[in-house]
Amino acid sequence: MRFDFTDDQQEIKRTAKEMLASRSTLELVRSAAESKAYDPDLWKELCDLGWPGVAISEEYGGGGLGVVELAGLLEEGGYALAGSPLLATTACGAAIQEAGSEQQRETWLPRLATGEATGTLAIAGELAPDAAEADVIVLIESDRSGARLLAGDQASVSAVETIDPTRRYGIVTAEESAGEEMPGDPEAALAIGALITSAELVGICQRSLDVTLEYVKDRKQFGRPVGSFQAVQHKCARMLFQTEAARSATYFAAWAADADRDRLIEGASLAKATASEAGVEVTGSAIQAHGGIGFTWEADIHWFFKRAQLDAAYLDGTKPHRRRLAALAARKVTSPA
C-alpha cells in the first residue's frame, strides 16, 4: 500500500499549483469577483493543459488519467480559488461517463474533454455551479431517483447571485419530457462530483490555514504574536486536524473511483461529509483568528469562507451524506459481502 500520490501525480499537482499561483493570484480572484466575470484566458489555459479532460478516457478524447489526478487539480483550484467552469464541467463529464449511454458519451465527452463545451451537474431545484452558461447539464431528480441529460437550451436555468461572487451559480429545472434519460445509476453520477467538490474544499481549507498561520505569526497584541497564545494555537491545530481529515477521506474516495468501484459511493459520502464540515469550520476559524480584519471586505479570507459555504451545500452537505453513510453501514452489517 502507498497512500500518497505517485511521482507523476505529484508532478501534475505541483505544476498546477505553480501555474495557478501566478494565474489566479488573490488580486485576480478579487477583481474577477468584484466584476463578476471569469478571466476567459485562464479557462483557455486550463483547456490547453487538458484539465477538463483529465479523467475522461482516451476513447472519448480525454487524457485517460484518473479521478485521483482530477482531484489533485481541483484541490489546487480550491487552493488558488480559481474562477472557472472546471469543477462544473468535470463533474458533468464524470457523470456522463458514469451514467450515460454509449451514444450520450460519444456526443458529449469529446467536447467536454477539450473544454470546447462546458457542462454542469445539478440536482433539480438546488444551486449548481456555472449552470446558466452550460452547454450540457446532467440533471438529477430531487429525490435522486433518476438522471437526465439536457442540452443547455432544454433546461430552464435561473442564474442566482450567491454570497460567493468568485463563481457563477444557477438553479436548474426542466420539463419532465425534456432531454434524455440516462441509463446509469444516479448515485454513481453524483459520487464523483461530490468527491471532486471535496477536493476543492481540501484546497480551500489548506489555503485558509496557510494564510492564517502567516497572519497570526505576524500580528502582535500584548507585546507578542497572537499565534503565541495557546487559544490561537489550538484553533490552528484544529484547523489542521479538520483539513487532514477531509484530505484523507477525499483521497480515499478518489482512489476508490479509479481502483475500487464498489466503495466509490461510500467513499464519496465519507469525503463530502467530512470536507463540507471542515470547509465551513476551517474558513470560519480563519476569520476568527484574523480578528476585526477578518470581517472586512478588504481582507481576502472571506472569499474562502463564502466559496466553502457554496461547496459545502453543493451535491449535499454533511448531514445527508452522514445519513447515507449510516445506511451503508447498516447494509454492511445485515448483508455481509
Partner 1 sequence: MDLTFSAEENEFRDELRQWLAENHPGDEPRGDDDTTFEFRKDWQRSLYDGGWAAVQWPQEYGGRDATLMQSAIFFEEVGRTRAPLPANVLGLLLAGPTIMAWGTDEQKERYLTPILSADEIWCQGFSEPEAGSDLASVKTMAKRDGDDWVVTGQKVWTSGAQYAKWCLLVARTDPEAPKHKGLSYFLLDMDQPGVQVRPLVQITGEAEFNELFIEEARIPHENMLGGEGDGWNVALTTLMNERSGLGFFLQIRLRQLLDQLVEEAVRNGKIKDPVIAEAIGEIEARTEVTRLTAYRGLSTIEKYGQPGPEGSLTKWLWSETNQMLVQLAADVVGPEALSADSKWAYELLRARGNTLEGGTTEILKNIIAERVLGLPRK
Ligand X SMILES: Cc1cc2nc3c(=O)[nH]c(=O)nc-3n(C[C@H](O)[C@H](O)[C@H](O)COP(=O)(O)OP(=O)(O)OC[C@H]3O[C@@H](n4cnc5c(N)ncnc54)[C@H](O)[C@@H]3O)c2cc1C
Residues that bind ligand X (CB under 6 A): 219, 221-222, 226, 229, 231-232, 288-289, 291-292, 295
Q: Return the number of the residue (113 or 172) whose C-beta is nearest partner 1.
A: 172
Binds partner 1 (CB under 8 A): choice among 110, 229, 244, 325: 229
Choice between 183 and 291, CB closer to ligand X? 291
Q: 10 touches which of partner 1, ligand X, none (CB within 5 to 8 A by kind)?
A: none
Tell me if 163 sits within 8 A of 310, measured CB to CB: yes
| All cell numbers assigned to 15 | 505544476
Residues 292-311 that bind partner 1 (CB under 8 A): 292, 294-298, 302, 305-306, 309-310
What are the C-alpha distances in Å from 191 to residues 74, 96, 126, 195, 269? 15, 12, 16, 6, 7
Rg over alpha carbons for the chain, rounded to the nearest Å, is 20
The region of 102-110, 208-216, 222-230, 255-263 touching partner 1 under the rule CB under 8 A is: 222-230
- Using CB under 8 A as the binding criterion, the count of chain residues that bind partner 1 stands at 41
The answer to whether 42 touches 84, Cβ cutoff 8 Å, is yes
The residue written with cell numbers 469529446 in the block is 110
Question: Smallest distance, Å, CB 27 to ligand X?
Answer: 23
The residue among 245 and 313 lying less far from partner 1, judged by its C-beta, is: 313
Interface with partner 1 includes 183 (CB under 8 A)?
no
Q: In terms of CB distance, is 188 or 209 closer to ligand X?
A: 209
Distance CA 308, CA 225 (A): 28
Q: Between the CA of residue 187 and those of 27, 117, 146, 181, 194, what are the distances in Å?
A: 38, 24, 9, 14, 10
* Interhelix angle 230-259/67-80, nearest 10 degrees: 150
How do 119-123 and 136-140 pair as beta strands? Answer: parallel
Residue with cell 469577483: 33
**Which listed residue (31, 221, 238, 331) binds partner 1 by CB under 8 A?**
221
CA distance 86 to 182: 22
> Do 68 and 9 form a contact (C-beta atoms < 8 A)?
yes
Closer of 6 and 158 to partner 1 (Cβ) = 158
Instruction: Rank residues 25 and 229 by Cβ distance to ligand X and give the closer one.
Output: 229
Residue 34 in contact with partner 1, rule: CB under 8 A:
no
Cβ burial 2-21 (10 Å sphere, 16+ → b, else e): eeebeeebeebbeebbebbe
Q: Looking at beta carbons only, is 247 or 290 nearer to partner 1?
A: 290
Between residue 235 and residue 264, which ones bind partner 1 under the rule CB under 8 A?
235
List beta partners, residue 1: none
For residues 45 and 281, which CB has a smaller minimum distance to partner 1 in the complex? 281
173 contact, one of ligand X, partner 1, none, CB 5-8 Å limit per kind = none
CA nearest to 122, candidates 194, 184, 176, 69: 194
In the complex, least distance from residue 158 CB atom to partner 1, rounded to whole angstroms: 10
Does residue 323 interact with partner 1 by CB under 8 A? yes
What three-state secondary structure class fits 110? helix
Site for partner 1 in 136-165 (CB under 8 A): 160-165
Per CB under 8 A, does 129 bind partner 1?
A: no
Which residues form the interface with partner 1 (CB under 8 A)?
125-127, 160-165, 171, 220-223, 226, 229, 231-232, 235, 280, 284, 287-288, 291-292, 294-298, 302, 305-306, 309-310, 312-313, 317, 319, 322-323
